[in-house]
Every structure is written in structure tokens, then in C-alpha cells.
Amino acid sequence: MSTGVGGRRSQASVPDLVGRARAGEARAVARLISLVEDESPLLREVMAGLAPYTGNAQIVGITGPPGVGKSTSTNALVAALRAKDQRVGVLAVDPSSPFSGGALLGDRVRMQDHALDTEVYIRSMASRGHLGGLAWTTPQALRVLDAAGCDIVLIETVGVGQSEVEIAGLADTTLVLTAPGMGDGIQAAKAGILEIGDVFVVNKADRDGADQVRRDLRNMIALAERGEDAWRPPIVQTVAQTGQGVDEVVEKIEEHRAWMESTGELDRRRVRRARDEIEAIAVTALRRRWGNVHERTELDALAEKVVAGASDPYAAADSLLATYTD
């Protein structure tokens, strides 16, 4: 890409890093994600540099309750995708405690099967920024992996509850994993997974009850109202531990992409996602301006007026928005 820069990584320019990431250098990819995670002053330059190269990767969300085999399935999917010569990214997100600010599990030593494969990028991210959810930097990390030439990026959370819904919001295709003994169908429906699943996977299919889980899922999917041209989520049985059924999951992922492209759904999902991203960044920028913690701000003064009964929150919000134009 360039001479005399590769050996001094800390001084590498952003265009240089982007070029090296696109050429397949894992350290450059890692460095770019770190710049995103650390909210580096270079972040804007990084995102602008990556933009022209984004849009190729299919973002595949992997959700399911703890114990269903998400990590094992992710690992098996990477193997199946590599066998098809795909460049693969993996983003594993650990939700944080709202109080500690740290990750519950920390960086995991995992997926060692692929640690030496230069066509696989694996990254754990702590989620930060809002309660129990995904960090607002997560979509930017996905962009790095996309621009680095990944054909598929798998995004997986160790989380529970809402994080599944948030994962689906970031993905082009969402895999919902279940397994025998993971709770009944009504629970599944309550958690909203029927709405977010593009492909359902019944893992641990060698165990008793797998066929029942499949039947229950099929019935619930059949009940959901769908339009004529709608995607009908397939159900695949797997034993991720042995790789059984995983190639079929890959096929369904490919079929879903083809369907999305033919119907325009891919663009619709991506525009919706970009809207959310832009909005989140704009709101974060405004919040920082309003709530600078190092000095007494307009917001503090307004809050004190509200507490004193001299103003109300709506009038105060109007004032806050008015000062933004200064």
C-alpha cells in the first residue's frame, strides 16, 4: 500500500489504515475498530474513508437464549463460510452492567479454530453507552468489517432480552436459535423473536424434543400474518457441535439475501438502519453539547429552575433547543 508506514503503526494515517484493511491486513482492521471503540478524534476521518467501500457485506445477527449454543453455532458457521471461500467477520457483543461500565464476561478466548485464519476477523466488543443495550459504536464497527471486504459479518450477543431485538435492528438477516428444553413457544412469541427471525435454527437437534420444537415453531410462523410476497422464515435443524445442518443454514442465509435484493428489502432495511445511526450520532452530539460535565451548563441552570417551580420541563426543553442555534 505504502512504504515506510507499516512498521510504525501508531503513526499510520487513516487512508493508509483503510487501504491496508482493504488489502486484508488484520492488524489494520483491529486498529480501525479500536479507533471506533475509543471514539478517537480520527473517528470522523475513519468513517468518511470507509464509506465508499461499504455495502457489500451481509450482516447476519445471531440471537437466542443463553445456553442455546450461540458461540458454537457462530464457530460452525464461520467454518462453513470459510469452506466456501468467504471472507468472514465476527463481532461478539457483551452487554455491560449499567453500573460497572465494564463487560460482564470481558474479552473471551474463543473461536480458537479460526484464530490463525487471515480471512476471518473476530472481535469482542463491550457494549457501552446505553442501559443494557448495544453500544452506539457497534454499527460503526460493522462498517469497518464491511469495508475491509468481509462477505459476511456475524454479530452475536451474549445478552438477554432487548439486546436480541437490537441485534436484529443492526442485521440484514437475523438467525434465531432455539433448542429443546429452552422454554416453550409462548415464551418465544412473547420475546418477539417470531417477528425478528429471518431464519430459525433448532440447535441440539440430536436431543429429545427437537422435532416438537420444530413443529411448534412452524405452527407459530404459520399463524403470523404475512403478505403474498413476504419471506417465509425457514426452520433448520442443526447440531452445531458436529457441524450437522450448518451448510443448510448458510444456504438459507444466501437465499434470504437473494430475496432481499430482488424485492428491494435489503435497501429498505439498510436505509432504516442508516437513519437510526445518523439520528443516534446527532443526538449524542447534542447531548454532549448540552451536558458538558466539566462546567455548569445551560441544562443545569434550566433543571434548577424546574426544581424551583419557576419553569416546567417543556418550557425548559424549548429554551435548550433555542440555545442550540447559538
Between CA 168 and CA 175 the distance in angstroms is 9
Among 5, 6, 53, 82, binds a copy of itself (CB under 8 A): 53
Q: Looking only at residues 129 through 148 of this chain, which bind a copy of itself when binding is defined by CB under 8 A?
A: 131-133, 139-140, 143
Between CA 151 and CA 57 the distance in angstroms is 5
Does residue number 320 form part of the binding site for a copy of itself (CB under 8 A)? yes
DSSP 236-252: EE-BTTTTBTHHHHHHH
Among 23, 105, 230, 286, binds a copy of itself (CB under 8 A): 286
Contacts of 74 (CB under 8 A, 6+ apart): 62, 90, 92, 111, 154, 156
Q: Residue 91: enclosing H or E segment and its boundaries?
A: strand 88-94
Among 224, 230, 258, 278, binds a copy of itself (CB under 8 A): 278
Contacts of 64 (CB under 8 A, 6+ apart): 70, 164, 176, 177, 178, 179, 182, 201, 203
Q: Which is nearer to a copy of itself, 4 or 264 (CB)?
A: 264
Q: Which is nearer to a copy of itself, 6 or 132 (CB)?
A: 132
Q: 3-state class of 130 per DSSP?
A: coil
Among the candidate windows 199-207, 220-228, 242-250, 312-320, which touches a copy of itself by CB under 8 A?
312-320
Q: In this structure, are residues 225 and 141 in contact, taking their beta carbons and an 8 Å threshold? A: no
Among 108, 272, 288, 296, binds a copy of itself (CB under 8 A): 272
Between CA 126 and CA 138 the distance in angstroms is 9
Instruction: Calculate the dihedral angle through the C-alpha atoms of 213, 232, 237, 172, rounding to the nearest 10 degrees.
Output: -120
Q: Which is nearer to a copy of itself, 155 or 299 (CB)?
A: 299
Does residue number 190 form part of the binding site for a copy of itself (CB under 8 A)? yes
Q: Looking only at residues 63 through 102 of this chain, which bind a copy of itself when binding is defined by CB under 8 A?
A: 97-99
In whole angstroms, the minimum distance from the beta carbon of 75 to a copy of itself comes to 27
Which letter does DSSP use for residue 175 in this model? E
Between CA 306 and CA 316 the distance in angstroms is 8
Does residue number 224 form part of the binding site for a copy of itself (CB under 8 A)? no
Does residue number 19 form part of the binding site for a copy of itself (CB under 8 A)? no
Does residue number 281 form part of the binding site for a copy of itself (CB under 8 A)? yes
Among 274, 288, 292, 296, binds a copy of itself (CB under 8 A): 274
End-to-end CA distance of the chain: 44
Q: Residue 305: enclosing H or E segment and its boundaries?
A: helix 298-307
In whole angstroms, the minimum distance from the beta carbon of 207 to a copy of itself comes to 28
Among 38, 118, 271, 288, binds a copy of itself (CB under 8 A): 271
Contacts of 229 (CB under 8 A, 6+ apart): 263
Q: Which is nearer to a copy of itself, 230 or 283 (CB)?
A: 283
Does residue number 186 form part of the binding site for a copy of itself (CB under 8 A)? no
Does residue number 48 form part of the binding site for a copy of itself (CB under 8 A)? yes
In whole angstroms, the minimum distance from the beta carbon of 194 to a copy of itself comes to 9
Contacts of 165 (CB under 8 A, 6+ apart): 192, 196
Residues that bind a copy of itself (CB under 8 A): 43-44, 47-48, 50-55, 97-99, 131-133, 139-140, 143, 161-162, 165-166, 190, 192, 195, 267, 270-272, 274-275, 277-279, 281-283, 285-287, 290-291, 299-300, 302-304, 306-317, 320-321, 324-325
